[in-house]
Amino acid sequence: MESVAIKIVGCSNGVVSGNITNGFDVGVDVQHSENIDISNNSITSRVAGVRVRNSRRNYISNNRVSQIKPDNIFLSITLRDLILFLINNTNIDNVKIIDIYSRLGRSWEEKIYK
């Protein structure tokens, strides 16, 4: 069973701000919710910093997220990770996201956070 620091289920118009979490599998887990403001948090987790599922119109900004493996080695974030996050968790048109990526001319696997 995975550990979750902050879990939001079936909520509307909520705020998760100013939290520091460390050592959980997931920092913030949002499910079946809308209009949740997730900002100004510091999250160190093993699986996911912020995970949003079956939710809409959520705002995620100014969070410091670090992922760790079980042996406390930090993972990196690739351009592919970022693009998939944008496609799955924002209201930005997917075609626009892919267009921006294609203009970059960079590899999917390029590390943008180490």
- Per-block mean pLDDT, blocks of 10 residues, the chain (114 long): 91 92 89 93 87 88 78 67 80 84 82 68
pLDDT of residue 6: 92
Characterize 86-114 residue by residue with b for buried, 16 or more Cβ atoms within 10 angstroms of its Cβ, and e for exposed. Answer: beebeeeeeeebeeebeeeeeeeeeeeee
Nearest Cα to 67, choosing from 18, 26, 7, 20?
A: 26
pLDDT of residue 29: 92
Kindly report whether the global pTM for this prediction surpasses the value 0.75: no
DSSP 73: P
**CA-CA-CA-CA torsion sign (105, 108, 110, 114):** positive
pLDDT of residue 74: 54
Nearest Cα to 53, choosing from 39, 76, 36?
A: 36
pLDDT of residue 36: 93
**Residue 50 to residue 26: CA distance in whole angstroms:** 7
pLDDT of residue 70: 60
pLDDT of residue 72: 54
Instruction: Return the domain boundaries, the chain.
Output: 1-75, 76-114
